[in-house]
Amino acid sequence: MITYAFLQHYWWFLVSLLGAILVFLLFVQGANSQLFSLACDDDERRMIINSTGRKWEFTFTTLVTFGGAFFASFPLYYSTSFGGAYWLWMIILFTFVLQAVSYEFQNKMGNVLGTSSYQYFLLANGIMAPVLLGVAVASFYNGANFIVEKDNMTDVLQPVISRWASEYGGLDMITDVWNILFGMAVLFLARTLGSLYLINNVSHEDIAGRCRKSLTVNFSAFLVLFLAFLAHLLTKDGYAVEAVSGDIYMKPYKYLDNFIEMWYLIPLFLIGVLIVLYGVVRSVLVSAFRRGVWFAGIGVVMTVLSLLLCAGWNDTAYFPSNADLQSSLTIVNSCSSEFTLQTMAVVSLLIPFVLAYIFYAWRKIDSRRITQEELINDEAY
């Protein structure tokens, strides 16, 4: 029989999987963040833009689906983070709006801002979105300043049960050095994936050569930042949940214990890391190898999935409160009703069909690589 606890864990798994896929799809932002370093002239920049322009909808749709899944399965997180940390999320969404506008209007007739302005908008989205999304994800481990008061549900005039404890609307999360460090790690990971994607998708030897050079710098920076954050995570006190009472308390080495007690996350994490290394290293050393993005992409999904599962499973508060420890959110105290989770679990059975369609659409879009001739003969950004 499917229990309420199983449904809570099942939906945290789905949300985590969406988050992991979103991190992989940030290769669009990663490539755009290098728009002026990987291209030497207007034609090369247009090739990169037309390459990422084929995929930006996948990233944005996954981000929206990620938020929607949180809203449906863990609504208290949605109201607390998306509602309380509104300035952080509004900046993230605004950069994605800039991205959409930039693709559509940079070469339209009557463009008063000029093509380069829209290209700088893509650059801004390419840098800011990965960093700020990384900051938001890092709060799963480092906490945020919010207070939950469920008694307010009976207040007819102001039935708001969660509020931000500071006046900065989530921007205070940027002041945590570990949040910023993780955000920068996500940025350099996105730039690594972006370079791998362009090697695979753009038929231009000079661009591919610059991408291979950028891989060494970006992946090295990512490794330093990520390993520093990982060391911090595995040695810090974590936010544990007392199974019976639901009380939150600080537990030394909580996230390390989670990996040990959920032993299956260790091979998932390590295999993911090894696959990423293989995709990057072989792409750097073998100029004819163009499929590094797929190896690295699968590895990134596996690695991020293991980290997110570590944040929410095994009696762990996945969104800790630094203002009031007992306000911390868990998959138990923040989830939807059992009926809602059951109903959505049935709907989630359609996910494999959606993924199959995405795979089919991706293959059709990439039936041929980006070339300079396409900019002249076909519809292009």
DSSP per-residue codes, 200-234: HHB--HHHHHHHHHHHHHHHHHHHHHHHHHHHHHH
pLDDT digits (tens, 9 = 90+) for 127-147: 999 999 999 999 999 999 998
- The first and second tokens of residue 102, run together, are 């930039």
Task: Say what the pTM is.
Answer: 0.93
pLDDT at position 248 is 94
Phi-psi region of 143 (alpha: psi -120 to 50; beta: other; left: phi over 0): left
pLDDT at position 155 is 55
CB distance 243 to 249 below 8 Å: no
pLDDT at position 376 is 63
**Terminal CA-CA length for the chain:** 53
DSSP secondary structure code for residue 248 in this structure: E
pLDDT at position 305 is 96
Q: Which helix (H) or strand (E) holds 59?
A: helix 56-73
pLDDT at position 377 is 63
pLDDT at position 30 is 95
CB distance 102 to 118 below 8 Å: yes
DSSP for 133-190, written as a single string: HHHHHHHHHH-BSEEE-GGGGG-SS----EEESSTTTTGGGGG-HHHHHHHHHHHHHH
Q: What angle do CA 69, 298, 276 make, to 5 degrees?
A: 130
Weakly modelled stretches of the chain, pLDDT under 70: 109-110, 151-160, 367, 374-381
| Closest-CA residue to 198 (of 55, 10, 357, 101) | 55
Q: Give 206: exposed, middle or buried? Use CB within 10 Å, 0-12, 13-18, 19+.
A: exposed
pLDDT at position 13 is 95
Residues in the chain: 381
**What mean pLDDT, rounded, does the chain reach?**
89
